[in-house]
Structure 1
Amino acid sequence: MEPLYLKILRDLEDKIASGQLAAGDQLPTEKELAEQYRVSRITSKRALNELEQQGLIKRTRGKGSFVTSTNTENTNTNRVLLLLPFTDDVAIGNLSGSILPVMQDAHYELMIATYDFLNTHTTQDIKNEFDGLIYYTEDENQHLDVLFELSFADFPIVLLDKEVTDLKLPSFLADNLAGGKEACDYLVKAGHKKIAYLFGNHHHPQSTRQRYLGYIQSLMENDITFHTSFEEDTTEKERLVDYVKHNQITAFVCENDITAIEAMRTLRQAGFLIPADISLVGFDNIQAAAFVDPPLTTISQDFKAIGESAGKALLSWIKTKQKPNSQKIPVTLFVRESTKEITA
């Protein structure tokens, strides 16, 4: 359901755009609008504040609100901001490279910046300079104040890689749960029954938790009782080797490719053969995954589809004023030489 203040805002925008309210005309007061639309004065005040921020009206204490422009199109900047945690986003699939063509086709400029941009720009700066924001969520708890302020003002924002459930913003990310399940399903079909999940560090972001739950779902569906508990951390070299020997592990679903490659190196140094003794599946399909020895079986995220979907959704939101739905983009299993079938 559309917020009540948006109803007032849209009606006044339409009257200004159509000329029904011309430059210099006085608008109804907060009290009059509240009575007309049967809302609180806080609601009517928010609608007038939005019009003032758009530059369509000027509000003067003791005098009222007056139309300054009859052209709503002038409020569009045709610019979108993409905020990333790194200067070079190759590590996260070159998302900017997939978003840029979408913006260019729509004649929008894409400005790419790191989180440092938020140290020198306020939320009002962002609203004045851009029509929308694409934000890569490295940490669900980071920049909540900025995202909330912009969201509260109905500024179009779409998130990449992770959801921030408290803000209810549309998110575009890989289907991590399905990926964890597919990786484990593959190992089960290859005959493995002692399959462990390998976490990369003590910090378990949303994407990792989803992959882990997919792993658990696969084991449950295949009636396999052994599983790694969420609290276990076997990243230390000695602990990893002891864990494998103690539990007779034959395969790992790894949080990501870096974790898988490091584990592969540790296990080989301890005398294990890959994949003869232990199979490993990674996640992300980074460039190095195809060139390690042996090449790594991994789950690939479709960063191109993620970026394109996010860009198109944001442009639609800007044009139609309708918030899009979140999307989980399917993943793909790439089978290489770090895994093998085992016989009973």
Structure 2
Amino acid sequence: MAALYETILNDLKEAILSKKLPPGSKLPTEMQLSTDYQVSRITSKRALTELENLGLIERTRGRGSFVKAQAPKANQTKRILFLLPFYNDLSLGNFTEGLLPILQDAQYDLLMTDFTYLTSHDCTSIQTEFSGMIYYATKEQDHLELLIELSLADFPVVILDKERADLDFPTVIANNLIGGFEATTLLLAQQHQRIGYLTNSQPLPQSTMQRYLGYRKAVKDSFFLSLEELPTLENFLALQQEKQITAWVCENDLIAIEAMRQLKAVKISVPDDISIIGFDNIQAAALVDPALTTISQNFDKIGYTAGQLLLEWITTGQKPSSQKIDVTLITRHSTKEISHD
């Protein structure tokens, strides 16, 4: 839970970055903020002090606090580059519904494309043509040289899906560990005692590993599949029979949907014979039969937060902190309570 002063800070920062409070606007006084937010004056004063430290406001004794005009930067193009490998299929995750409004409010244009863009654009051209970049990370070694160069140039970049602390870029990711934990906890509450984890990636990518750790945290000392035992779509049916597994937590919705297809092909009923739960809540999750129980990533909020952090960095020149976004369990019809009769 955010500290009380952070709530005030974030609300005012959002209003300033989105131009709802344009340069020269007078902010509420410490006393007014204390009343509006039901906090102490010390708390409201700290929020204003943090805004001043970020370079967003200037405070004059006897006059109050005012939104500070930002000096234009060299090569300021007011364009953002968003590199997204599935940009032409947003059913896999639509970040733009949260991202576009905050960029439009700040009068920034967005170019969204995939990694083929990098075949004709290098670090220098990206810095010349754009004010900042949002990068959806896939494999950790992909485009590493470009990211290193942008990091050394202190170019504003926000990374989605995977933490890259080694590059010192802020990241916005879903709380994958909590997601894996909540998925497994649901199945345990439905009396499943032999729950497996299904992936199609070895070694596990960072986000998938976090989901697996959530699975392990939930099952504790009960039955579980170790890393070495984890099956893929090619062999999970055999392992399911061998280990008498009654439910699967899947790495993502695409794997869950393919697993259901294979189960149906061999006359195994979901959820009567086996329960399946996915992760991501892509559009197809609600359309398959049976509709897929899943962990929903808040793509709108991830997109909005990425835009907010990027604008903060561009506007203030100060690198923001990474953010982890809560997930939500969506219970549909691919899971059910098991009968031990």
Same fold, judged at TM 0.5 (above)? yes
> Which structure's relative contact order is higher, taking Cα pairs within 8 Å and 6+ residues apart?
2
Q: Which residue of 2 aligns with 1:266?
A: 262
Q: Is the 8 A contact 1:132 1:318 kept in 2?
A: yes
Q: CA deviation at 1:166?
A: 1.6
Matched to 2:325, the amino acid is: I
Root mean square deviation of aligned Cα: 1.7
Report the Cα distance in structure 2 between the residues aligned to 1:186 and 1:231, rounded to whole angstroms: 24
Q: Which residue of 2 aligns with 1:80?
A: 80
Pairing of 1:18-57 with structure 2 (within 5 A)? none
Report the Cα distance in structure 2 between the residues aligned to 1:277 and 1:258, rounded to whole angstroms: 20
Equivalent in 237, 240, 247 of residue 244 of structure 1 = 240
Change (3 A) 1:236 1:284: closer
Q: Which residue of 2 aligns with 1:184?
A: 184
Change (3 A) 1:260 1:72: closer
Report the Cα distance in structure 1 between the residues aligned to 2:88 and 2:74, rounded to whole angstroms: 33
Change (3 A) 1:120 1:85: same
Report the Cα distance in structure 2 between the residues aligned to 1:273 and 1:80, rounded to whole angstroms: 47
Q: Which residue of 2 aligns with 1:328?
A: 324
Report the Cα distance in structure 1 between the residues aligned to 2:171 and 2:233, rounded to whole angstroms: 34
Matched to 1:300, the amino acid is: S
- Give the total of aligned pairs: 270
Q: Which residue of 1 aligns with 2:300?
A: 304
Q: CA deviation at 1:200?
A: 2.2
Pairing of 1:58-73 with structure 2 (within 5 A)? 72-73=72-73
Q: CA deviation at 1:89?
A: 4.3
Q: CA deviation at 1:242?
A: 2.1
Show CA shifts across 1:207-231 (max 9, x none).
11111111001111xx41x111213
Which secondary structure does the structure 2 equivalent of 1:166 belong to?
Answer: helix
Q: Which residue of 2 aligns with 1:228?
A: 225
Change (3 A) 1:265 1:189: same
Q: Is the 8 A contact 2:170 2:320 kept in 1?
A: yes
Matched to 1:137, the amino acid is: A
Report the Cα distance in structure 2 between the residues aligned to 1:118 and 1:185, rounded to whole angstroms: 42
Pairing of 1:1-344 with structure 2 (within 5 A)? 72-73=72-73, 75-202=75-202, 204-220=204-220, 223-224=221-222, 226-237=223-234, 239-344=235-340
Matched to 1:232, the amino acid is: E
Matched to 1:209, the amino acid is: M
Q: Is the 8 A contact 1:140 1:163 kept in 2?
A: no
Q: CA deviation at 1:101?
A: 1.4
Show CA shifts across 1:53-83 (max 9, x none).
xxxxxxxxxxxxxxxxxx8545422111111
Q: Which of 93-102 and 169-178 deviates more? A: 93-102
Q: CA deviation at 1:271?
A: 2.9
Report the Cα distance in structure 2 between the residues aligned to 1:285 and 1:306, rounded to whole angstroms: 14
Which secondary structure does the structure 1 equivalent of 2:228 belong to?
Answer: coil
Using the size of structure 2 for normalisation, the TM-score is: 0.75
Which secondary structure does the structure 2 equivalent of 1:200 belong to?
Answer: coil
Q: Percent identity?
A: 51
Is there any run of 5+ residues in structure 1 with no aligned partner, and where? 1-70
Q: Which of 316-325 and 196-205 deviates more? A: 196-205
Report the Cα distance in structure 2 between the residues aligned to 1:108 and 1:290, rounded to whole angstroms: 34
Which secondary structure does the structure 1 equivalent of 2:166 belong to?
Answer: coil
Change (3 A) 1:292 1:86: closer
Report the Cα distance in structure 2 between the residues aligned to 1:73 and 1:158, rounded to whole angstroms: 19
Report the Cα distance in structure 2 between the residues aligned to 1:235 and 1:265, rounded to whole angstroms: 14
Matched to 1:76, the amino acid is: Q
Which secondary structure does the structure 2 equivalent of 1:159 belong to?
Answer: strand
Which secondary structure does the structure 2 equivalent of 1:139 belong to?
Answer: coil
Q: CA deviation at 1:204?
A: 2.5
Q: Is the 8 A contact 2:198 2:233 kept in 1?
A: no
Q: Is the 8 A contact 1:241 1:270 kept in 2?
A: no
Which secondary structure does the structure 2 equivalent of 1:231 belong to?
Answer: helix
